[in-house]
Amino acid sequence: MLRFPDYVQVLVTGGAGFLGSHLCDRLIGDGVAVICLDNFYTGTRRNVAHLLDNPMFELVRHDVTFPIYLEVNQIYNLACAASPIHYQFDPVQTTKSSVHGAINMLGLAKRTRARILQASTSEVYGDPDLHPQPESYWGRVNPIGPRACYDEGKRCAETLFFDYHRQHQLLIKVARIFNTYGPRMHPNDGRVVSNFIRQALGNEPITLFGDGSQTRSFCYVTDLIEGLVRLMATPDAVTGPVNLGNPGEFTVRELAEKVIALTGSRSRIESLPLPPDDPKQRQPDIGLARKTLGWEPKVALDEGLRRTIEYFDRVLAAGRKSG
Ligand code: NAD
Ligand code: UDP
Ligand code: UDP
């Protein structure tokens, strides 16, 4: 039986969340030992319940804003609420999760010499005036608006990653993730895909913010996880940042119409005001990911939506049954 450090022991922070739980599934499927660390702020034990009996899997309740001492050789740092209603509920905690969380995880990586990957975000580009967004674009973020706790926290985390890399020679990987969707999104997280599907399945009004002409590019979760795993496996010299997302660009109104058609819903579209600082357009330039990771998304929006609708249909029906 191999003992640490001769086998791969991976730490996934935020591992009980939407993306984190799919990453844990993937790593366990690859035969890797996983410590899943989460404070269950927006994630839930249910997302990883099926892994709890696996001897390669360990679940730890912990908040990354506090230090932790573990022996690992790879860290995926995903801990941070990601949907606007969740990250704006306690904005100070959001910044702390990104910044103090990054410091602690980088400190852990420095002590164990683990390679560490940061789940950064397309939000570092803010409301972009360059389209599509390449990694070389520095962004246009309002530092004092309601989205800043998330955007600036993630920007500062990137700064910390690159400074630990330069100052302490850490092996870092920074992924800039664009809107990703799929099963295990929280039905009430307020994100556009989960909102529209939940509303359509209940034949409730579809809440379209603004005139719906703003665009987003939606990546299906399994594609995204493949990109993260490939990035972690790159040679030491590859640090990123690397955009990971699906370049297919849709207006939010098109998304609403697709969801209505795919669910066969009787919902109608209701227009509501656009939230402040809502980016007008977002589309990844994935040239770098194609070149360095040999990666591109495979699941088209219609197919991904079908799979996500199936999941929501099941969990919402189970929720109604249990009252
Ligand atoms: P999520 O909210 O489902 O997952 C975040 C997880 O982190 C949750 O399980 C939550 O409980 C946990 N968490 C939050 N604060 C924590 C803390 N202080 N200590 C420990 N655990 C904490 O969101 P997600 O969509 O799975 O996002 C995962 C990561 O990917 C986040 O860092 C997010 O910023 C990033 N990301 C996601 C998207 C997307 O579209 N889903 C896009 C860009 C970036
Ligand atoms: N840290 C941690 N786990 C470790 C090593 C460090 O949580 O295994 C935390 C530690 O508490 C510190 C932070 O990571 O606050 C940054 O560590 P670093 O070594 O860079 O800084 P220093 O300890 O010198 O402040
Ligand atoms: N949006 C919407 N109705 C909703 C939720 C979101 O029209 O019920 C819009 C939102 O204004 C934004 C886009 O959909 O333009 C994506 O929103 P989300 O919160 O999913 O992600 P982000 O803005 O962080 O990309």
State the ligand closest to the CA atom of 109: 2
Residues with CB under 6 A from ligand 3: 84, 179, 191-192, 195, 207-209, 214, 216, 252, 274-275, 278
Q: For position 3, what pLDDT does the model report?
A: 66
What contacts 316, CB < 8 A, 6 or more positions away?
187, 198, 201, 202
Out of 150, 191, 207, give the residue to mutate to test ligand 3, the one with the largest number of ligand atoms within 8 Å of its CB.
191
Asked if 215 and 252 count as a contact pair (C-beta separation under 8 A), the reply is: yes
Which tokens in the block code for residue 59?
């679940």
pLDDT digits (tens, 9 = 90+) for 160-216: 999 999 999 999 999 999 999 999 999 889 999 999 999 999 999 999 999 999 999
Expressed in angstroms and rounded, the spacing between residue 96 Cα and the centre of ligand 2 is 15
* Residue 137 falls in the annotated catalytic set: no
- Distance (Å, whole) CA 150 – CA 136: 20
Atom of ligand 2 nearest to the CA of 67: 7
Q: What are phi and psi of 320, to 5 degrees?
A: -65, -40
Selecting among 76, 87, 150, 220, the annotated active-site residue is: 150
Asked if 13 and 42 count as a contact pair (C-beta separation under 8 A), the reply is: no
Quote the pTM value: 0.96
Query: Is residue 141 pLDDT above 70, yes or no?
Result: yes
Q: Among residues 33, 71, 73, which one has the least CA distance to residue 54?
A: 33
DSSP state of 137: -
Q: Among residues 192, 205, 155, which one has the least CA distance to residue 275?
A: 192
Residue type at 60 in one-letter notation? V
Q: For position 2, what pLDDT does the model report?
A: 61
Expressed in angstroms and rounded, the spacing between residue 193 Cα and the centre of ligand 3 is 8
- Distance (Å, whole) CA 68 – CA 318: 37
Q: For position 279, what pLDDT does the model report?
A: 87
State the ligand closest to the CA atom of 216: 3
- Distance (Å, whole) CA 91 – CA 300: 34
Provide the strand spans (E) within 20-168: 33-38, 57-61, 74-77, 115-121
